[in-house]
Structure formats: C-alpha cells, structure tokens
Structure 1
C-alpha cells in the first residue's frame, strides 16, 4: 500500500529541502539523480517521495531544530564541561543559522513542542530558570 503522505510534488519537495524550486528537481531528473521508480509525472505535475528526496538530497532543511527536554536535562547533569559546551554549541549553531529551537517532550506517544526560542539569549534565560529549579515564567 502506498502512503500518499510520503508523496510530494516537486514544488513541495523543493520547499521542504530549501531548494531554489521545482526546476532544481527537474534538473536532477535530467542528470539521472533519481531512479525511474522514484519519480512520476502526473499531467503537468512531477511527483516524488520523501525516501527519494532523502537519498538524492539528504536530510530536509527545517526552520526548526528540535531537542527533547530529556536531552537538555541530561546535558545539565553532565559533569564534563566539554560535554555541556558541545551540546550548547549545537543549539547555538542552529539558532545562528536562523533556525528556531523547539524543546519537545513525548506525551502519550506524541511529540509535543513545549517551548520555542528564536535566539540563544532566550534559550539561556530559560536554561538558567530550569537550572535553578525555578518555576517557568509565562513571559
């Protein structure tokens, strides 16, 4: 059975992978980057799958960098400063690359976004609050 949620138009795929547009994918077709079974033209619309896009272009670009809350708590418990710095550097890099940081938690089997930060100082302020065991601010 084909899962139509895993099928994308070239325009949708280009947006998700932050490519210049559907034309980038059509050029990839002409260059033989896709296997024949990975693409289809339906009328005037080209279609492909997440798996094909992942194989050809790698991970999709996302404007949101997600970190589970349990990973943040684990990083706070690490005794090695270098481990904590490495973890925080990943977060800082994502925010510097214009991504938003989403703190997530799995609740009843679903991934739920608890907080979203747009800058590293916002994240640092929140981190300081949870590090001290203070209640979360609604600001």
Structure 2
C-alpha cells in the first residue's frame, strides 16, 4: 500500500530541505541523481518521496519539532495547555511540526505542518477529544 503522506511535490520538498525552489530538485532529477522509481511527473507537478529526498539530499535542514502520536496524545491528556504552548513556540521559532509514528522499527512522518492554524484545524477534525482552542499568545 502506498503512503501518500510520504509523497512530496518538488515545491514541498524544497521548502522542507531549505532549497531555493523545486527547480533545484528538478535539476537533480534531470542529472540522474534519483532512481527512476523515485520521481515522476503527474500532469504539471513533479513528485518524489521523502526517502528519495533523504538519499539524494540528506536529512532535511529545516528545523522541525517532532511528536509521535502516542506522545502527542499523552501530552494533550496530561497537560493540554503545556503541550499546545510547546507546539505554539515551535511555530513561533519557524519550525515545522512533524507528527510521527514508529512501524517495524522505522520512524515515519504521518503529518507535516508548516503553520499552527493548519495543525489546530487538523487536531479539531481528527480527534474531537483533543483540545483545539488557540493558545494564549
């Protein structure tokens, strides 16, 4: 089964890896840096995978705040305001928020949020029992 959360447009990947634009990745693809199965064009949009980007460009340079699903759940249940303040601070510091899970010993990014409002909206939609009101700023 294909996990679409691991598929990135070149523009998304460029943002995550701190590259000037998706054109940098396109040039790498045209130079044969990616395996044939790691990139493809869908209409006018180029796509690649997270694993392919790590192989070609290394670990993303943009700082991220990572939370596993169990840690997010636990943090929201134990001290909702503290958890949301930590997340708010990560966005304030221009970090992305990665929601991860571990499957068969491998960490996978389930969700990647660039903006706090997107995270809060996801939280509200995915788990009604999670608090989703905005944090005092």
TM-score for the superposition, normalised by structure 1: 0.50
Residue 65 of structure 1 deviates from its aligned partner by: 5.8
TM-score for the superposition, normalised by structure 2: 0.50
Distance 2:50 2:58 in 1: 10
Q: What are the ranges of 5 or more consecutive residues in structure 1 without an aligned counterpart? A: 67-103, 119-139
Residue 31 of structure 1 deviates from its aligned partner by: 1.2
Q: Which stretch shows the higher mean deviation, 29-38 or 54-63?
A: 54-63
Residue 61 of structure 1 deviates from its aligned partner by: 2.0
SS at match of 1:46: strand
- What residue in structure 1 maps to residue 122 of structure 2? none
Residues 40-119 of structure 1 mapped to structure 2, 5 A cutoff: 40-64=40-64, 109-111=70-72, 112=75, 114=83, 115=86, 116=89
- What residue in structure 1 maps to residue 29 of structure 2? 29
How many residue pairs match? The answer is 81
Relative contact order (alpha carbons < 8 A, sep ≥ 6): 1 or 2 greater? 2
Distance 2:24 2:48 in 1: 13
CA-based RMSD of the aligned residues comes to 2.7
SS at match of 2:34: coil
Q: What are the ranges of 5 or more consecutive residues in structure 2 without an aligned counterpart? A: 76-81, 94-137
| Higher gyration radius (CA) | 1
Residue 2 of structure 1 deviates from its aligned partner by: 0.2
Residues 121-136 of structure 1 mapped to structure 2, 5 A cutoff: none
